[in-house]
Amino acid sequence: MTYRMARVLLLLAAALSAATTLWLGRVDVAAQTAAYRPPRLADGRPDLNGIWQALNEANFDLESHSARPAMALRAGPAGPVPAAPVLALGAVGAVPGSLGVVEGGAIPYRPEALAKKKSNQENWLTLDPEIKCFLPGVPRATYLPHPFQIIQSQSSVYFAYEYAGAGRNIFMKNPGPAPIDTWMGWSAGRWEGDTLVIDVTGLNDSTWLDRAGNYHSEALHVVERYTRTGPDHLQYEATIEDPKVFTRPWKISMPLYRRVERNAQLVEFKCVEFVEELMYGQWRKNPLPR
């Protein structure tokens, strides 16, 4: 056997060993997750109390994407290009790349709805409800870059969100149909084993799903699933259905992480005061100096 052949065999053996170790490590992690038994309340239900936060790029764009300038476009000689206000922000105005959180890849838009999504994306700076401090809706409230708190007792579950002081009560007994459509919807909860399942209806059409212009109509129906998979982890899944916008139901999934600082708590982020000039400044009797 030549030296070169021996070296190739050694490299192959090392690669095989590394792959085996990685595979076994994944199996071990999966086994630990399957074996995890969460702490319980007195009624025997898993204790989901805590302050949780998503650590991903879903609020920028749910789908897989490369890094890019934030989309707010103007016409250029070779086609649409990012507008000056976005370019002036430099890296702060950029969208980080992501593998995405949509199971199966792309969101299944109807052709006419996809055209509206693209228009939303091109006019993000003026249209995104997040910029205007509107309530975020569901599921977007979960993966905004702000923590939220689950407050759970034996008889009730409440979600408090840092962004815009949003909140929603989870009815653990069937509350019947939503009386009206609202920003945060009408949430009916139930337990399936150790998973909290929340059926969300009664959502208005004024929220987006992310900053990339992904949107929905008033026919949106979301089924969320929260499963505690470790001391400081929840697995979150949401199945999204809207026959006016999408050709079929589709799902997003992501881990949520517990905030473990010694004094972890939600702080106020009542953002209305930050957008008054943006939304109403043109009607001031005495405009603010620029």
DSSP string, 93-127: GEEPPB--SBTTSS--B-HHHHHHHHHHHHBHHHH
Residue 43 maps to a domain: no
Residue 230 maps to a domain: yes
Structure confidence at residue 278 (pLDDT)? 83
Residue 44 maps to a domain: no
Question: Are both 74 and 196 inside the same structural domain?
Answer: yes
Closest CA to 251 of 101, 111, 130: 101
Question: Are both 96 and 19 inside the same structural domain?
Answer: no
Question: Are both 160 and 242 inside the same structural domain?
Answer: yes
Confidence of residue 89 (pLDDT cuts 50, 70, 90): confident
Structure confidence at residue 289 (pLDDT)? 72
Range of the domain at 13: 1-35
Higher pLDDT, residue 10 or 193: 193
Higher pLDDT, residue 19 or 166: 166
Cα 208 to Cα 205: distance, rounded to the nearest angstrom: 8
Question: Are both 78 and 221 inside the same structural domain?
Answer: yes
pLDDT at 87 over 70: no
Q: How deeply is 94 buried, as exposed, middle or buried, from its count of CB atoms within 10 A (0-12, 13-18, 19+)? A: middle
Question: Are both 11 and 122 inside the same structural domain?
Answer: no
**Contacts of 149 by beta carbon, 8 Å cutoff, 6+ apart:** 50, 51, 52, 159, 160, 161, 266
Q: What is the pLDDT of residues 124-182, one digit of tens each?
A: 888 999 999 999 999 999 999 999 999 999 999 999 999 999 999 999 998 999 999 99
Cα 217 to Cα 208: distance, rounded to the nearest angstrom: 9
Structure confidence at residue 120 (pLDDT)? 95
Closest CA to 59 of 165, 131, 160: 131
3-state secondary structure (DSSP) of residue 259: coil
Indicate the pTM of the whole model. Answer: 0.83
Residue 41 maps to a domain: no
What tokens were used for 205? Answer: 């059409």
Residue 45 maps to a domain: no
Contact status, residue 154 vs residue 42, Cβ threshold 8 Å: yes
Burial 53-70 (b: 16+ CB within 10 A, else e): bbebbbbbbbbebeeebb
Higher pLDDT, residue 20 or 162: 162
3-state secondary structure (DSSP) of residue 279: helix
Lowest-confidence segment of 10-14, 115-119, 127-131, 242-246 by average pLDDT: 10-14
Q: What is the pLDDT of residues 202-226, one digit of tens each?
A: 999 999 999 999 999 999 999 999 9
Residue 154 maps to a domain: yes
Residue 94 maps to a domain: yes
Count of the separate structural domains present in the chain:
2
